[in-house]
């Protein structure tokens, strides 16, 4: 026993030396083996991506400030990367797991991610970010719990369920990738899944009279969804790390990449009920169901599936505007969330980002401010660290729409540490957009139809806008956010529509400081993979 304790102490000590993680907080160790395996999510045999033989992958449970040591083994035929949707990686974009920051893990190789869920709570998910692997699985839920002495603004629920829902294709991921690379868009998805299963394939068991937390994430590729439970109300309590005013809804829209927590009380007669997910803003409405099973039920689910909203945009806008931050609740720290008065800070500049559908060289592409992003031969973060010229164009990302035709470029938006910026997402297309910013949580201050103008600020919510990392922009509309650039690094800003992201609707923002201090950013990890023009260079000796 003494030898075991001494060995564990040595392991932690070595990790601190290797990675510089915080030795004052607990460590959680994970070993993941990514493999191919047969799955039947829509009744058709497919080659899916499994983690430790599971589809979806294992749940990550952590407490605020925990250190996560995740050793990833790649047994796929292709290079692999894993990203962590919503984790902020404070001072540590080295661990973000997207190709702009990390070299992929080659087949038959492994890489250890060292993450800290610094000052975070809430519901998130992870997914494979490279080579359209997300279409084959490899995703899972992340739950970050509050520390024991931090008050949570609702009684402890009797149970906590993760709901990973989204659209799915029967076609394998590498064929979908070939469709995109050939210059065509993807067809409509074949169906929807709840936790990797199709119609009535998954069951949530509850006890009558008790309240349960459901953490809902849209892990799909192209489609917004609506979530509802037959005969039950959904009390919204948390959005991507922010406690919210506890409004109740009959159903909830969840756009691509978004995560929500709701409380559901099992207060109905004992029987089984439908848990329903259906597509939003699609010509053909896709629907799938799971089962809410009362433990004392002897009546199986039956009858018509309860309907929900389909193409109504105004309904969704009104619901989105009603989601407000709970200013009296503590977040990860023991102080009210409203103590940060974002509405009293004047932004140093306004960045307007307009998405567009484009054809370049006879192929389908997507762009932001006319720039359709092209992945470089070397991750941007490595090129920046080693000062390798010619990899990316710093400042090549326009900060407002150009009005010109789309073009290909590896563009990076230049930004300074401690700036406070206003970002306006302008959408002139006929489909809803979903935008995600890695490394950050931002305040949603406004959304409306038409063209954004400076006069639009008169309608901003400058008091209790929810803070989150993924936001929707409705057709022919705009959404505005405020964001404090307090996290140095190279950060991905992307469409969560994975076809659009793959074909150029993304870019990177370099948040820079000349200080070169560990106080502002951690040094390159010793185990960082080096590829492209960074191959053959050295990380650091300690």
Is residue 538 domain-resident? no
pLDDT score for 333? 86
pLDDT tier, 334 (very low <50, low <70, confident <90, very high otherwise): confident
As a whole number of angstroms, the distance between CA 509 and CA 416 comes to 10
Q: Could you tell me if 300 and 440 lie in one domain?
A: no
User: Which tens digits make up the pLDDT trace of 65-84?
Assistant: 999 999 999 999 999 999 99
Residue 105 half-sphere exposure toward CB, CA atoms < 13 A: 24
pLDDT tens readout for residues 274-315: 999 999 999 999 999 999 999 999 999 999 999 999 999 999
The DSSP H or E segment spanning 31 is strand 27-39
Statement to judge: residues 266 and 346 lie in one domain: no
Distance CA 347, CA 232 (A): 42
Same domain, 164 and 141: no
User: For residue 461, what are the domain limits?
Assistant: 342-526
The span from the CA of 235 to the CA of 477, in Å, is 28
Q: d(Cα 39, Cα 196) in Å, to the nearest integer?
A: 9
Confidence of residue 541 (pLDDT cuts 50, 70, 90): confident
Pairing of strands 234-239, 242-243: antiparallel
- Number of neighbours of residue 325 by Cβ within 10 angstroms: 24
Query: Do 28 and 67 meet the contact criterion of CB atoms below 8 Å apart?
Result: yes
Q: Final residue of a domain: which of 100, 120, 145?
A: 145
Same domain flag for 139 and 163: no
Judgement on whether residues 248 and 295 belong to the same structural domain of the protein: yes
Note the residue count of the chain. 542
* Domain C-terminal end among 119, 145, 171: 145
Examine residue 535 and state whether it is found in any structural domain, yes or no. Answer: no
Q: Is the domain of 302 the same as that of 426?
A: no
Q: What is the CATH number of the domain that holds 418?
A: 2.60.40.420
Please tell me the predicted confidence (pLDDT) of residue 335: 78
Q: Is residue 533 part of a domain?
A: no
Verify that 167 and 134 share a domain, yes or no.
no
What are the pLDDT digits (tens) for 166-197? 999 999 999 999 999 999 999 999 999 999 99
Any residues with CB less than 8 A from the CB of 355 and at least 6 apart, and which? 366, 367, 368, 425, 426, 427, 428, 429, 433, 473, 495, 500, 505
Q: Does residue 399 fall inside a structural domain? A: yes
Q: Which of 96, 114, 145 is the last residue of a domain?
A: 145
Does the structure show a pLDDT above 90 at 17? no
Which residues, 6 or more positions from 4, have their beta carbon under 8 angstroms from its beta carbon?
none
Q: Is residue 11 part of a domain?
A: no
DSSP string, 174-200: HHHHHHHHTT------SEEEETTB-TT
The mean per-residue pLDDT over the stretch 322-351 comes to: 90
- pLDDT higher than threshold 70 for residue 14: no
Could you tell me if residue 18 is inside a domain?
no
Asked if the model's pLDDT at residue 12 lies above 60, the reply is: no
Number of domains forming the structure of the chain: 3
Q: Give yes or no for residue 10 having a pLDDT over 90.
A: no
Question: Is residue 81 within 8 Å of residue 139, measured between CB atoms?
Answer: no
Structure tokens at 356: 């567009």
In a domain, 105, yes or no: yes
Phi-psi category of residue 188: left, alpha or beta, with phi > 0 → left and psi -120 to 50 → alpha: beta
Q: Would you state the pLDDT for residue 338?
A: 67
The answer on 380 and 254 residing in a single domain is no
Do both 227 and 79 map to the same domain?
no
Q: State what percent of residues in the chain have pLDDT above 70.
A: 95
The answer to whether residue 537 is domain-embedded is no
Tokens standing for residue 367: 């762009």
Residues near 97 by Cβ (< 8 Å), separated by ≥ 6?
A: 81, 82, 83, 84, 113, 129
Same domain, 306 and 415: no
What's the predicted TM-score (pTM) here? Answer: 0.95
* 294 and 390 assigned to the same domain: no
The answer on 85 and 127 residing in a single domain is: yes
């Amino acid at each position: 026993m003494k030898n075991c304790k001494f060995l564990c102490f040595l392991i932690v000590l070595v990790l601190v030396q290797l990675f510089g993680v915080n030795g004052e907080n607990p460590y959680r160790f994970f070993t993941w083996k990514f493999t191919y395996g047969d799955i039947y999510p829509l009744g058709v045999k497919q080659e899916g991506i499994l983690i430790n033989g599971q589809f979806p992958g294992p749940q990550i449970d952590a407490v605020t400030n925990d250190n996560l040591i995740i050793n990833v083994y790649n047994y796929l035929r292709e290079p692999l990367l894993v990203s962590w949707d919503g984790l902020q990686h404070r001072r540590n974009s080295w661990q973000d797991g997207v190709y702009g920051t990390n070299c992929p893990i080659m087949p038959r190789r492994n890489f250890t991610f060292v993450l800290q869920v610094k000052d975070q709570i809430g519901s998130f998910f992870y997914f494979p970010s490279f080579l359209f692997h997300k279409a084959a699985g490899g995703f899972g839920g992340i739950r970050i719990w509050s520390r024991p002495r931090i008050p949570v603004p609702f009684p402890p629920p009797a149970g906590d369920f993760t709901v990973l829902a989204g659209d799915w294709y029967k076609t394998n991921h590498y064929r979908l990738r070939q469709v995109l690379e050939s210059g065509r868009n993807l067809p409509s998805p074949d169906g929807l899944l709840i936790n990797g299963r199709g119609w009535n394939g998954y069951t949530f068991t509850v006890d009558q009279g008790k309240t349960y937390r459901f953490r809902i994430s849209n892990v799909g590729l192209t489609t917004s969804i609506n979530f509802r439970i037959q005969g039950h109300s959904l009390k919204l309590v948390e959005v991507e790390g922010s406690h919210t005013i506890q409004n109740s809804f009959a159903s909830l829209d969840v756009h691509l990449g978004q995560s929500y927590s709701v409380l559901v009380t099992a207060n109905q007669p004992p029987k089984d009920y439908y848990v329903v997910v259906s597509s939003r803003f699609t010509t053909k409405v896709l629907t799938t169901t799971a089962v809410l099973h009362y433990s004392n039920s002897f009546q199986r689910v039956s009858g018509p599936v309860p309907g929900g909203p389909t193409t109504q945009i105004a309904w969704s806008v009104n619901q989105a505007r009603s989601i407000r931050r709970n200013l009296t609740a503590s977040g990860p720290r023991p102080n009210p969330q409203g103590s940060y008065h974002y509405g009293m800070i004047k932004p140093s500049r306004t960045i307007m980002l307009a998405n567009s559908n484009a054809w370049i060289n006879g192929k389908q592409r997507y762009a932001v401010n006319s720039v359709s992003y092209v992945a470089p031969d070397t991750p941007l973060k490595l090129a920046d660290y080693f000062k390798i010229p010619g990899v990316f164009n710093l400042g090549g990302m326009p900060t407002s729409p150009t009005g010109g035709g789309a073009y290909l470029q590896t563009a990076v938006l230049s930004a300074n540490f401690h700036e406070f910026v206003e970002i306006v997402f302008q959408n002139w297309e006929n489909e809803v957009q979903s935008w995600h910013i890695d490394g950050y949580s931002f305040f949603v201050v406004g959304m409306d139809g038409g063209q954004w103008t400076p006069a639009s600020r008169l309608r901003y919510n400058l008091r209790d806008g929810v803070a989150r990392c993924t936001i929707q922009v409705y057709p022919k509309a705009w959404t505005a956010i405020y964001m404090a650039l307090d996290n140095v690094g190279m950060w991905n800003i992307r469409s969560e529509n994975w076809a659009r992201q793959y074909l150029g609707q993304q870019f990177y923002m370099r948040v820079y400081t000349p200080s070169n201090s560990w106080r502002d950013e951690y040094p390159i990890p010793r185990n960082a993979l080096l590829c492209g023009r960074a191959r053959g260079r050295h990380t650091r000796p300690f």
